[in-house]
Structure 1
Amino acid sequence: MKKVILAVLFTLVCFTAMAEEQVTRITVNGMGRVEVAPDRAVISFGVENTGKELAPLKKANDQAARKAVDALLRSGVARKDIYTSNYNISHNYDYRQKAEKREKVYTVRNQFRLTLNDVEKVGEVITILERNGVNTIQGVNYTTSKAREMKLEALEKAYLDARGKAEHLAKLEGKKVELLSVSEGGYMPRPEVYMAADMARSKNTPVYAPLEVNVDASVSAVFKMVK
């Protein structure tokens, strides 16, 4: 009989402990955004040549690329801020000709990336490129050198946003919250403003400078409601 009573008491204690362990959880997402004026621009540009003779084509491409780089260096751009991002030689056939007379047509592409630490010089640099052999500009990407600091600040705002939501929901039940877990949902610098133009077709190159660069961050957090 005593064993039965002890077993019942043990079961009641376990049940009570389990009941006490049961908590109401709140899962929320938070968003944070930080805005800053861009202080850096990355220009993607290149030289592209097409022709039937590969050797002179490569030579002409190299000369045009060297001319553009030399002009940038003379303007004050540091050599370390210019680098080749892609060099490609491909061929196709001139399908305007009859099949038996079709000749190979080669295309040589030499592409570069240039980092400017003064966004006010974007227009000036594009003009230099235009006048010194560059015939394609793939885009201008405006960014910030403070990306790491912005990310951390955006994450902080995202967490506070998530906690605020959880506290609001718990308040409806007359309770408070305690954090159980939080995970980063990622971050994204935006908008990255691009300018694209075919220098062979347009001499009046538009330049778009954004007022600000935004960094967005998100978190997912789990809270428990407490008295």
Structure 2
Amino acid sequence: MKHNRLSVLLFLGLILVLALSACQAAPITTSRDSSIPYPRQLNVSGNGKVYLAPDVAYVNVGVHSQAENVTDALNQNNAKAQAIANTLKELGIDEKDIQTSAFNIFPQQQFDNEGKLTGTIYMVDNVVNVTVRDLSILGKLLDAAVRSGANTINSINFDVLDKTAAITEARKLAVEDAQRQAQELAAAAGVQLGDLISMNSYASSGPAVMYDMKGGVGASGQVPVSAGQLQISVDVNLSYEIK
């Protein structure tokens, strides 16, 4: 009787071990409904450009002075900087449109041909950013600033204060360009466009022309300046479902 019970227990234990082994060996799988195909897509990129006449200019005007004495260098620089500021105001530039962007004082040691220190020269730089809202006086302003003591003009950047309408128009042109391309590609491939799946837009702007001072001061006493045109550019990416 004991022998029969032992045999039954061993048999049940063997069945339990086999069942546990089968559970551990079974791989974990995920199911995907193969009846739902991945949607076919057509992706296109479009671009729209609008050109505007600038209505404002940003000018960097600077004064560089140097002397063997730091006080002399600073006094010379201050006198020229004040003269330039007075000239700008006389031309109608508002005080809020004149902003100091850099002011530096630094020594530069001098050496002879044998490498021996002979002295020190102190240099002073004063740079201001000027916002010019009347571009008709820009050439006259540059000439007047130089004659008042400015000896560095680092850059002139033209811009448009309100680009809202131009960006809207450039977006419209970019979307139309992308839609036209999508329709042409679909027709060439013999397919039909479905719903619009996604859309991305990117806007940028930059001056087409900076400034020209090659001719120097003209007979009229003004620096010849070309404002050119400002380009507003918008890129869009469209993704359509293919039917």
Give the TM interval when normalised to the shorter protein.
0.7 to 0.9
Equivalent runs, 1:32-181 vs 2, <5 Å: 32-96=48-112, 98-172=114-188, 173-181=190-198
Matched-pair identity in %: 22
**Higher radius of gyration, 1 or 2:** 2
Distance 1:152 1:192 in 2: 23
Q: Which moved more, 1:172-181 or 1:188-197?
A: 188-197
C-alpha distance 178-186 of structure 1, shift in aligned 2 (>3 A):
same
Q: Does 1:213 align with 2:230?
A: yes
Distance 2:93 2:117 in 1: 47
In the superposition, the TM-score normalised over structure 2's length comes to: 0.76
Contact 1:170 1:177 in 2 (8 A): no
Q: Does 1:25 align with 2:6?
A: no
Shift of residue 195 of structure 1? 4.3
In the superposition, the TM-score normalised over structure 1's length comes to: 0.81
C-alpha distance 14-75 of structure 1, shift in aligned 2 (>3 A):
closer
C-alpha distance 56-158 of structure 1, shift in aligned 2 (>3 A):
same
Distance 2:116 2:62 in 1: 34
Contact 2:200 2:238 in 1 (8 A): yes
The amino acid across from 1:15 in the alignment is: S
Equivalent in the alignment of 1:7: none
Distance 2:212 2:154 in 1: 8
Distance 1:40 1:223 in 2: 41
Residue aligned with 1:57, SS: helix
Give unpaired runs (5+ residues) of structure 1.
Answer: 1-12
The amino acid across from 2:167 in the alignment is: K
Distance 2:131 2:178 in 1: 37
Give unpaired runs (5+ residues) of structure 2.
Answer: 1-31
Shift of residue 66 of structure 1? 0.8
Q: Which moved more, 1:153-162 or 1:93-102?
A: 93-102
Contact 1:190 1:216 in 2 (8 A): no
Shift of residue 169 of structure 1? 1.0
Residues 122-169 of structure 1: CA deviation (Å, up to 9, x unaligned) = 111112112211111112222112223323332332222222211221
Aligned residues: 207
Distance 1:95 1:136 in 2: 26
Shift of residue 186 of structure 1? 3.9
The amino acid across from 1:130 in the alignment is: V
Residue aligned with 2:187, SS: helix
RMSD: 2.3
Contact 2:201 2:235 in 1 (8 A): yes
